[in-house]
Structure 1
Amino acid sequence: DLNLAKPGCGRLVDIFVTPLQEPAGSVVIMLQERSLSEKIDRQLTHRGAGRSVAAMASVLAHEIKNPLSGIRGAAQLLEAEATDADRALTRLICEETDRIVKLVDRMSAFSEGRSAGREKVNIHAVLDHVKKVSQAGFARHIRFHENYDPSLPAVLGNKDQLIQIFLNLVKNAAEAIGESRRDGDIELTTAFRPGVRLQISGAKAPVSLPLEFCVRDNGSGVAPDLLPYLYDPFVTTKAAGTGLGLALVAKIVDDHGGTIECESLPRRTTFRVLMPMYAPARA
């Protein structure tokens, strides 16, 4: 499935042919979109961005959070003796200092401390949890559709971090659809793609990433000029956005040895996550 945008729209692909033992003379043909490797190459150029944010966060934690606590404390002391008009200003100071502290805390999530433990995880349980949380809050007005591969192998990952990945992607999808629309749809899909092998940073040989997880929505889409920078920190089109959500998603996916890509058209945007499957340790 090349997901052609419209009739007559061609795409460059690589063709892989493998013979089958039975029946005699049969072959398996796989078409892999060439642009996939180009998108992954683009993503690799941004992998250092998360490390830069981590270093920045450690500086901000000391140079900004400590003074902010003093500013907030002083504002609270002034509030006790302030007039009603001035009290509104002291509350504004407290609210803004709290907002800056939360921003620094979000950046601290990029810290390259000890990696989280990974285990055998059922991705369908993760996606069902994300759907339940979303429908109870920001996506209560959106219809969800699931298209799962029932025989999909487990993924090697950290369950909490996987939830964080897909909760961010579903939240972005819901925001792209908007609160006023009543025809919003989000589709969650899983599939096994045995032919996908990619050269991952730190690996000597191409790594198999056969597990494909997709979040698809019928929202407004991503502007073409924004796609190459989608996973860069502080890149956002939201008025109140921080631009850290997708950057954090890309870092967690990368930490899991996977990759993420985005294909976007009006009313059809797909975030595709490729990851390695769980393999029991050999005795």
Structure 2
Amino acid sequence: MLASMPGLRPDQEGPSLAEQMTALPVATLVVRPDNSIADANVRAETLLNMARSAIIGSDVARTIRIAEAGARFDIWHSNKAVAAYDIKVHAGRTAEMELDLMIAPIVDHDGWRVVSLHAQSQARKIGHRGSSGGARSAMGAAAILAHEIKNPLSGIRGAAQLLESSHNGQDSALTQLICNEVDRIAALIDRMQDFTTDRTLECQPGNIYPLIDRAAGIAAAGFARNVRITKRYDPSLPSANINDDALVQVMINLLKNAAEALEHVPKPRIRVETAFRHGVSVMVGDGKGSAVLPIEILVIDNGPGVPEHILDHLFNPFITAKRDGQGLGLALVDKLVRDMNGFVQYSRDREAGESCFRILLPMGMA
């Protein structure tokens, strides 16, 4: 029990641990070493559609049942922290649902764990989607547009060039404008065609640092030349299972996105950090179990952040807050990261005044 809390007068008594547990805004369980549930809060009762008296003493593996048939993993017999995103479960007396599940060991109490259940996926709120619906819809749109638009564009360009030559250079500014605009639209279609392939990327163990440095060098020499770029690398980071070209493209897109967000910031800064994160995993379909994603790359900027009204659709194609933006850069980042069996998230630290794109990737196996 907590007798008092910081900031209270000596004669004031703070809320008990049970009262704090009740007030938690997410469904929370306390689990014993034998996997029986020792405590549950009101949110857990609501989510599981079970009375607290029925939850306490029940086996957590039976109360929260993994819905994926044939899955080769057991999250309930591990003493390590686990964060499982977009996992499908049968929880209590409810129908199948998709949620984020966090398991945290209690320090100095072997086998005891706190389990939190986020029914409305936190991963979706910060930009990650377990499904590829957004990118798949873009793939279909890109294939159609490429077929219906790109071929006529070459005819328009050819006609403009013939028009220019037949007028002996007269109205050359107008014909050049036509050619330039055709080239611009063709380049946009080329970018959209990146979505038309659903083939698996060839990934292999590799050192991420030369790839990050290459992208940072391109940024510093071009679109981010007026921005201070700093790096904070974890020197002990193992290799990641990656596709080199895809990771470079991902980093260039994120750095470009950050640089554009800093256009009107007095002292623009971008910081690239890496770290090894234990216990972060996602559930993989087709009975393959869980994928551990310990390799973390952060791209942080001190810009104004993403507008609230597009947060839920940030990684969908054609969604952008930029006046002349196309809304394809972050959609491509999401697709390439997922193709490397990782995921990307966005978050905002309002206190520090920073925005962060977080990439999590699998470790390379020698």
Pair 202,109 (structure 1): closer, same or farther in 2 beyond 3 Å: farther
Taking the TM superposition and a 5 Å limit, the aligned residue runs for 1:163-174 are: 163-174=248-259
% identical equivalent positions = 41
Taking the TM superposition and a 5 Å limit, the aligned residue runs for 1:178-189 are: 178=263, 181-189=265-273
Partner of 2:242: 157
Amino acid at match of 2:315: Y
**More displaced 10-residue stretch of structure 1: 207-216 or 181-190:** 181-190
Pair 127,33 (structure 1): closer, same or farther in 2 beyond 3 Å: farther
Per-residue deviation at 1:201? 4.5
User: How far apart, CA to CA, are the structure 2 residues paired with 1:243 and 1:186?
Assistant: 21
Cα deviation digits, residues 121-145 of structure 1 (max 9, x gap)? 1112211111111111111121122
Amino acid at match of 2:249: Q
**Residues 1:147 and 2:225 aligned together:** no
Pair 27,124 (structure 1): closer, same or farther in 2 beyond 3 Å: farther
Partner of 1:6: none
Structure 1: stretches of 5+ with no match in the other structure? 1-9
Partner of 2:261: 176
Pair 246,67 (structure 1): closer, same or farther in 2 beyond 3 Å: same
Per-residue deviation at 1:30? 9.4
TM-score, length basis structure 2: 0.65
Cα deviation digits, residues 167-222 of structure 1 (max 9, x gap)? 100111111111x5451111111111111121134563121111111000001111
User: How far apart, CA to CA, are the structure 2 residues paired with 1:61 and 1:203?
Assistant: 36
Which SS does the other structure have where 2:322 is aligned?
coil
Partner of 2:4: none
User: How far apart, CA to CA, are the structure 2 residues paired with 1:86 and 1:193?
Assistant: 61
Coordinate RMSD, CA, aligned: 2.9
Pair 18,156 (structure 1): closer, same or farther in 2 beyond 3 Å: farther
Which SS does the other structure have where 1:206 is aligned?
strand
Pair 229,113 (structure 1): closer, same or farther in 2 beyond 3 Å: closer
User: How far apart, CA to CA, are the structure 1 residues paired with 2:274 and 2:266?
Assistant: 26
Per-residue deviation at 1:84? 6.9
TM-score, length basis structure 1: 0.83
Contact 1:222/1:265 (8 A) holds in 2? no
Which of 237, 250, 261 is matched with 2:334 structurally? Answer: 250
User: How far apart, CA to CA, are the structure 2 residues paired with 1:228 and 1:263?
Assistant: 12
**More displaced 10-residue stretch of structure 1: 263-272 or 199-208:** 199-208
Pair 30,146 (structure 1): closer, same or farther in 2 beyond 3 Å: farther
User: How far apart, CA to CA, are the structure 1 residues paired with 2:206 and 2:357?
Assistant: 20
User: How far apart, CA to CA, are the structure 2 residues paired with 1:36 and 1:207?
Assistant: 21
User: How far apart, CA to CA, are the structure 1 residues paired with 2:324 and 2:197?
Assistant: 27
Amino acid at match of 2:194: A
Amino acid at match of 1:167: I
Amino acid at match of 1:187: R
Which of 10, 13, 16 is matched with 2:104 structurally? Answer: 16
Taking the TM superposition and a 5 Å limit, the aligned residue runs for 1:48-197 are: 48-82=133-167, 86-112=171-197, 114-178=199-263, 181-197=265-281
Per-residue deviation at 1:35? 9.6
Partner of 1:270: 356
Taking the TM superposition and a 5 Å limit, the aligned residue runs for 1:208-227 are: 208-227=292-311
User: How far apart, CA to CA, are the structure 2 residues paired with 1:154 and 1:254?
Assistant: 18
Per-residue deviation at 1:60? 2.2
Amino acid at match of 1:274: L
Partner of 2:34: none
Contact 2:124/2:312 (8 A) holds in 1? no
Cα deviation digits, residues 204-258 of structure 1 (max 9, x gap)? 3121111111000001111112111110101112222111000000000111111
Per-residue deviation at 1:45? 6.4
Structure having the higher helix fraction is 1
Contact 1:191/1:212 (8 A) holds in 2? yes
Taking the TM superposition and a 5 Å limit, the aligned residue runs for 1:22-33 are: none
Per-residue deviation at 1:272? 0.5
Structure 2: stretches of 5+ with no match in the other structure? 1-23, 29-101
